[in-house]
Amino acid sequence: MSQLTQLVYISRSSFAGPENFKGGIEPHAGKILFQSRGNNRNSGLTGVLCFGDGCFMQCLEGEEATLNNLLLKLKTDSRHSRFTVLWKKPIETRSFGRWEMKFVAVKGPMMKWLESQGYERFDPYLFDGQMVDRVMNFLGSIEGMRNFQVPAVVGQQVKKS
């Protein structure tokens, strides 16, 4: 059994979200979340996905070997660019162990919290190490979206992979 590990990365979405999208989950992000939950369940991974303002910030927790394999896939995923690993470190316990993939939209409590930290928008490329740690703590402290309807993406079927 390999070491329990936490991986945090950021990236920019390669899809353009609807300019006037008012739902809880942007359709493309919803599809990613749906697929991630199924894949993570099968791989023993847990974590949180935060999406907004065209940026992803994701924390994944699990066995190091499993994360290393996933990391190779994530780096070449066409749904995002500017893929940057912020940290990959051994952990004793999972921070998001109750979630196959917790989802937190930037709108609402997350944005209010970011504003209280001096940020006008969600851009994790501006975060230093201490801020990343504070974001992870905040994401762990709030409720995420557990059950949701995956919004339809025009011309695409949502499939488990």
Q: 3-class DSSP state for residue 96?
A: coil
C-alpha distance across the termini of the chain, in Å? 25
Q: Where do we find the tokens 């065209």?
A: 54
Mean pLDDT: which of 6-15, 50-59, 122-131, 152-161 is highest? 122-131
Residues 27, 11, 53, 145, CA torsion sign: positive
CA distance 159 to 124: 29
CA distance 45 to 50: 16
| pLDDT at position 16 | 59
DSSP 126: G
Closest CA to 43 of 86, 14, 74: 74
pLDDT beyond 50 at 66: yes
| pLDDT at position 147 | 42
Residues of the chain with pLDDT > 70: what percent? 78
pLDDT beyond 80 at 105: yes
| Tens-place pLDDT, residues 7-51 | 999 998 876 554 444 445 666 667 777 888 888 889 999 999 888
Residues of the chain with pLDDT > 90: what percent? 44
Q: How confident is the model at residue 150 (pLDDT cuts 50, 70, 90)?
A: very low
Closest CA to 106 of 142, 158, 61: 142
Determine which helix (DSSP H) or strand (DSSP E) holds 102, and give its type and residue range.
strand 102-105
Average pLDDT, the chain: 81
Class of domain 4-16+24-141: alpha beta
Domain boundaries, the chain: 4-16+24-141
- The residue-averaged pLDDT of 76-89 equals 86
